[in-house]
């Protein structure tokens, strides 16, 4: 039995790894991306490129979206020449973007009214995880829909969790995931900048702190970049956490929930971004704590005005 | 060649594991503790109990201290019937307590003036790590002194780091370790309390969040207690982090360093302690975020006053 054709919207850093894994495991892939070079890449890999979204909708009963956010998702579905109106009833739309919980919940209802199933399925693991097919997927929706697309999810997911039977639970968990990632990352910056201020060698500090109860995945991953002030090799940008911790704080406010740690971490990222480092690697959050860690150079005194 | 006699001051939760490991590996141990039951325990294990600190000082060239803090350390050394005056020149005092950096630095100078070597050697890993002989030790002092007592440290240390050649660097690293532990613990409470407020099942949330980039050692260790609201089985109390994050903030202030994450975490612990939960397990920091997580019961309205 040949495997079904899968639609893939958004062939960026994440989508490319997903496409490669789908093709590698025998699925036919119809892709769509507004960037011609992304489409060319997919053709070279042996995929097909849809002429437009309506033709992708008519070809595929499973459509995976790796666009950036809720605005792009809205456009892909309901925009001019979008998917809606051309998808066959029973189609599953797998939304893998990080989006606000209330948007995802409402989207589930809006698509259900059209006979379309939404699987709320955000991921973590980054471009490296997408390439290796080892992403963590947090899926919420009807159980039967989850079971139906499980073979597709398995091509790019290393850990696949069914987290709830209503769209929105996946978005909630992704936002909690970003809460902890953002706080741990800012905490690593705070601790290592303080170590540096005290004159401790950062390589030793990092080794000791990573060896026991102070360990976090973020300290292990981003700590070496902080220790070497290697902020130019961008794996994920400061501005991603400005966006994601913003979603965390929106979620908390809507729940009447005070989140002082998330708030403190958000302030660190937004300050670094506002000082011109938004496109730097997110390990540059360390610069919030010390303007230029690693130098003993003091700022010049302000000019005299009279 | 028989192994030297080691002095051990403070035979509490940590000291007992250390004593058992020293005896197990063939060292003779002379212990001292103000609690008679701790002394009896050591005798049962095959150790000896010193009549007082001066006699311990004259018997041992290596003395390990596992007292609670700097005040007890001061008392043990310089108090009435303390060690100082009775220690032979060249004796090594191994200070394993968590103490302020400036106290430890000054202590190194004060002891050096008396011909006594201070090894600043705080540990992490808790009573369980002490019992297993797997503590992480962050040692600072003269390299030759570190090398001299290394066989002793090996009996209870799984990872032994030489972090600097002046006493104080060990204390600095221990404080940074407590910074990250305290922030990660409060962050776990914040994220899991928010998950609960949103109606997510905590066991699933914990499994998902522990599976990838949101992981911290603290989330893995304390998260299950939070998910089951198991705050009565005390591994380490809320008040320990009130003390240790207080040391972090003192250190930061002395360095002219702003530490908003440590400050937010400190506020969570001190608030929970001030509301009567200081002796509860430190996972109870979760109660800062929601008065009584897991119940939908709302507080009663305040009584009318007229």
Q: End of a domain among B108, B130, B165?
A: B165
ipTM value, please give it. Answer: 0.91
Query: Is A10 within a domain?
Result: yes
Domain of residue A88, CATH code? 3.40.50.720
Closest CB to A255 among B124, B173, B197: B197
Give the whole-angstrom CA distance, residue B185 versus residue B262.
Answer: 11
Query: For residue B190, which residues of chain A lie inside 8 Å, CB to CB?
Result: 179, 183, 259-262
Q: Using DSSP, how many helices (H) and how many strands (E) does chain B show? A: 12, 9
A220 in the same domain as A116: no
Strand-pairing partners, residue B3, are none
Query: Is B304 within a domain?
Result: no
Phi-psi map region of A150: left, alpha, beta (phi>0 left; psi -120 to 50 alpha): alpha
| A84 half-sphere exposure, CB direction, 13 A CA radius | 18
B3: annotated active-site residue: no
- pTM of this prediction exceeds 0.95: no
In the prediction, which pLDDT does B226 show? 95
Query: For residue A139, which residues of chain B lie inside 8 Å, CB to CB?
Result: none
Partner-chain contact B261 A257, CB within 8 Å: no
CA B113 to chain centre: 28
Partner-chain contact A208 B177, CB within 8 Å: yes
Closest CB to A172 among B173, B187, B198: B198
Window from A175-179, B49-53, B291-295 with minimum mean pLDDT: B291-295
Query: Is B297 within a domain?
Result: no
Please return the burial class of B251, using the count of CB atoms within 10 Å of its CB with bins 0-12, 13-18 and 19+. buried
Give the whole-angstrom CA distance, residue A242 versus residue B46.
Answer: 60
Tell me the shortest Cα–Cα distance from B229 to chain A, in angstroms: 19
Domain holding A57, by residue range, is 5-167
- Chain A residues 143-162 with CB within 8 Å of chain B: 159, 161
DSSP secondary structure letters along chain A: -PPPEEEEE--SHHHHHHHHHHHHTT-EEEEE-SSHHHHHHHHHTT-EE-SSHHHHHHH-SEEEE--SSHHHHHHHHHSTT-STTTSPTT-EEEE-S---HHHHHHHHHHHHTTT-EEEE--EESHHHHHHHT-EEEEEES-HHHHHHHHHHHHHHEEEEEEEESSTTHHHHHHHHHHHHHHHHHHHHHHHHHHHHHTT--HHHHHHHHTTSTT-BHHHHHHHHHHHTT--SS-SSBHHHHHHHHHHHHHHHHHTT---HHHHHHHHHHHHHIIIIITTSBGGGGGGGTSSSTT--PPPPPPPP--
Q: Which residue has the tokens 């440290």?
A: B153
SS (H, E, C) B216-244: EHHHHHHHHHHHCCCCCCCCCEHHHHHHH
**Tens of pLDDT, residue by residue, chain A (306 residues):** 568 899 999 999 899 999 999 999 999 999 999 999 999 999 999 999 999 999 999 999 999 999 999 999 999 999 999 999 999 999 999 999 999 999 999 999 999 999 999 999 999 988 889 999 999 999 999 999 999 999 999 999 999 999 999 999 999 999 999 999 999 999 999 999 999 999 999 999 999 999 989 999 999 999 999 999 889 888 889 999 999 999 999 999 999 999 999 999 999 999 999 999 999 999 999 999 987 654 445 556 666 766
A109 in the same domain as A33: yes
Decide if B181 contacts A213 (C-beta within 8 A): yes
B98 in the same domain as B37: yes
Tell me the shortest Cα–Cα distance from B216 to chain A, in angstroms: 4
Decide if B182 contacts B248 (C-beta within 8 A): yes
Distances (CA, A) of B290 to A34, A259, B41, B272: 45, 11, 42, 11
Decide if B48 contacts B59 (C-beta within 8 A): no
Report DSSP state, residue B276: I
Give the number of A-B residue pairs with CB atoms closer than 8 Å.
206
A152 in the same domain as A13: yes
A140 in the same domain as A196: no
A194 in the same domain as A256: yes
Tell me the backbone φ, ψ of residue B8, rounded to 5 degrees.
-135, 115
In the prediction, which pLDDT does B154 show? 98
Closest CB to A258 among B172, B191, B289: B289
- A299 Cβ under 8 Å from any chain B Cβ: no
A15 in the same domain as A111: yes
A19 in the same domain as A158: yes
Give the whole-angstrom CA distance, residue A289 versus residue B89.
Answer: 44
B190 in the same domain as B127: no
Cβ-Cβ contacts under 8 Å for A162 (sequence gap 6 or more): A139, A140, A143, A146
Query: Is A301 within a domain?
Result: no
Query: For residue B173, which residues of chain A lie inside 8 Å, CB to CB?
Result: 195, 200, 205, 208-209
- A23 Cβ under 8 Å from any chain B Cβ: no
B84 in the same domain as B185: no
Confidence of residue B294 (pLDDT cuts 50, 70, 90): very low
Query: Is A187 within a domain?
Result: yes
Q: Please name which of A273, A264, A241 lies closest in space to residue B259, comparing C-alpha atoms.
A: A264
Please return the burial class of B265, using the count of CB atoms within 10 Å of its CB with bins 0-12, 13-18 and 19+. buried
- B68 Cβ under 8 Å from any chain A Cβ: no
Give the pLDDT mean for B208-228: 95
Residues in chain A: 306
Q: Of these residues, A174, A243, A300, A304, which one is catalytic?
A: A174
Query: For residue A290, which residues of chain B lie inside 8 Å, CB to CB?
Result: 257
Give the whole-angstrom CA distance, residue A136 versus residue A157.
Answer: 6
- Which contiguous run of DSSP H or E holds residue B157? strand B157-164
Tokens of B212: 């990838």
Domain of residue B274, CATH code? 1.10.1040.10
- B184 Cβ under 8 Å from any chain A Cβ: yes
In the prediction, which pLDDT does A126 show? 86
Q: End of a domain among B165, B192, B208?
A: B165
- A125 Cβ under 8 Å from any chain B Cβ: yes
- Which contiguous run of DSSP H or E holds residue B85? none
Closest CB to B261 among A136, A138, A261: A261
Partner-chain contact B259 A172, CB within 8 Å: no
Q: Strand A123-124 to strand A135-140: parallel, antiparallel, or no bridges (unpaired)?
A: antiparallel
Partner-chain contact B217 A213, CB within 8 Å: yes
Closest CB to B216 among A101, A173, A184: A184
Partner-chain contact A190 B259, CB within 8 Å: yes
In the prediction, which pLDDT does B292 show? 61
- B251 Cβ under 8 Å from any chain A Cβ: yes
Per-residue pLDDT at B305 exceeds 70: no
Identify the three-state secondary structure at position B100.
coil
Query: For residue B195, which residues of chain A lie inside 8 Å, CB to CB?
Result: 172-173, 176
- A11 Cβ under 8 Å from any chain B Cβ: no
Per-residue pLDDT at B5 exceeds 60: yes
Q: Of these residues, B81, B166, B174, B243, which one is catalytic?
A: B174
Q: End of a domain among A167, A201, A223?
A: A167
B272 in the same domain as B186: yes
Strand-pairing partners, residue A31, are A8, A49
Domain total of chain B: 2
In the prediction, which pLDDT does A189 show? 98
Query: Is B104 within a domain?
Result: yes
B179 in the same domain as B159: no
Tell me the shortest Cα–Cα distance from B109 to chain A, in angstroms: 19
pLDDT tens profile B231-262: 988 888 999 999 999 999 999 999 999 999 99
Tokens of B277: 């939960």
Tokens of A253: 């406010």
Closest CB to B183 among A187, A193, A267: A187
Query: Is A295 within a domain?
Result: no
Query: For residue A213, which residues of chain B lie inside 8 Å, CB to CB?
Result: 124-126, 177, 181, 217-218, 221
- B171 Cβ under 8 Å from any chain A Cβ: no
Give the whole-angstrom CA distance, residue B174 versus residue B163.
Answer: 11
Give the pLDDT mean for B210-214: 93
In the prediction, which pLDDT does A299 show? 54
Give the pLDDT mean for B116-123: 98
Query: Is A299 within a domain?
Result: no
Identify the three-state secondary structure at position B28.
strand
Q: Which residue has the higher pLDDT, B127 or B22?
A: B22
Tell which of A128, A167, A180 to mutate to test the B interface (max B CBs under 10 Å). A180
Per-residue pLDDT at B27 exceeds 60: yes
Closest CB to A259 among B190, B217, B261: B190
- B305 Cβ under 8 Å from any chain A Cβ: no
Partner-chain contact A268 B255, CB within 8 Å: no
- B64 Cβ under 8 Å from any chain A Cβ: no
Tell me the backbone φ, ψ of residue A65, rounded to 5 degrees.
-115, 125
């Amino acid at each position: 039995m040949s495997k079904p054709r899968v639609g893939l919207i958004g062939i960026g850093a994440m989508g490319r790894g997903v496409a490669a894994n789908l093709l590698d495991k025998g699925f036919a892939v119809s892709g769509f991306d507004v960037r011609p070079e992304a489409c060319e890449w997919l053709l070279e890999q042996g995929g097909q490129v849809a002429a437009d979204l309506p033709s992708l909708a008519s070809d595929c009963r499973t459509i995976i979206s790796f666009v950036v956010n809720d605005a792009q998702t809205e456009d892909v579905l309901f925009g001019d020449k979008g998917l809606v109106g051309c998808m066959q009833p029973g189609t599953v739309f797998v939304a893998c973007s990080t989006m606000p919980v209330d948007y995802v919940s409402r989207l589930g209802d809006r698509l259900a009214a059209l006979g379309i199933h939404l699987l709320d399925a955000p991921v973590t693991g980054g471009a490296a995880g997408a390439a290796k097919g080892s992403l963590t997927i947090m899926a919420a929706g009807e159980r039967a829909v989850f079971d139906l697309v499980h073979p597709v999810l398995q091509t790019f997911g290393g850990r696949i969790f069914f987290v709830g039977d209503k769209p929105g639970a996946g978005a909630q968990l992704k936002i909690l995931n970003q809460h902890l990632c953002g706080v741990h990352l800012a905490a690593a910056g705070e601790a290592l900048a303080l170590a540096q201020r005290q004159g401790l060698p950062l390589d030793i500090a990092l080794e000791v702190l990573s060896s026991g109860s102070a360990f976090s995945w973020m300290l292990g991953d981003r700590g070496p970049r902080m220790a070497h002030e290697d902020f130019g090799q961008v794996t994920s940008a400061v501005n991603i956490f400005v966006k994601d911790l913003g979603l965390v704080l929106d979620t908390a406010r809507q729940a009447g929930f005070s989140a002082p740690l998330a708030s403190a971490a958000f302030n660190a990222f937004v300050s670094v971004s506002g000082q011109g480092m938004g496109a730097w690697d997110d390990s540059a959050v360390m610069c919030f704590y010390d303007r230029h860690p690693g130098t003993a150079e003091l700022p010049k005194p302000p000019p005299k005005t009279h």
